[in-house]
Amino acid sequence: MKAFFEGIQWLFETIFFALHDFLRQLELTHWFAANIINWGFMIICSVAIVYWCKQLKLHKDEGQEDQDTTAHSFLK
């Protein structure tokens, strides 16, 4: 039974966390390169938020947005 759990340990430490170990070692020498995935997510989220805000303003300017508090039947 001990060999089974050691096999699971080897699988996770060697195979599944190989990218994490690489990024951990890379962080010691190149911080920006180690965080490139985070920078990418921040850029994608920033673009999405700007797009969403522009669409909200567009719908508000066209008067398509229903601001009535009784717009839904459960709010009556």
pLDDT in tens, 58-76: 988 887 776 666 666 666 5
Alpha helix (H) ranges present in 1-76? 2-10, 18-27, 31-34, 36-62
- Would you say residue 48 has pLDDT above 90? yes
Is the predicted pLDDT of residue 9 greater than 70, yes or no?
Answer: yes
Q: Is 10 exposed, middle or buried (0-12, 13-18, 19+ CB in 10 A)?
A: exposed
- Where are the domains positioned within the chain? 2-63
pLDDT, tens digit, 9 for 90 and up, residues 31-40:
888 888 899 9
pLDDT of residue 63: 78
The pLDDT mean for the chain works out to 87
What's residue 47's pLDDT?
A: 98
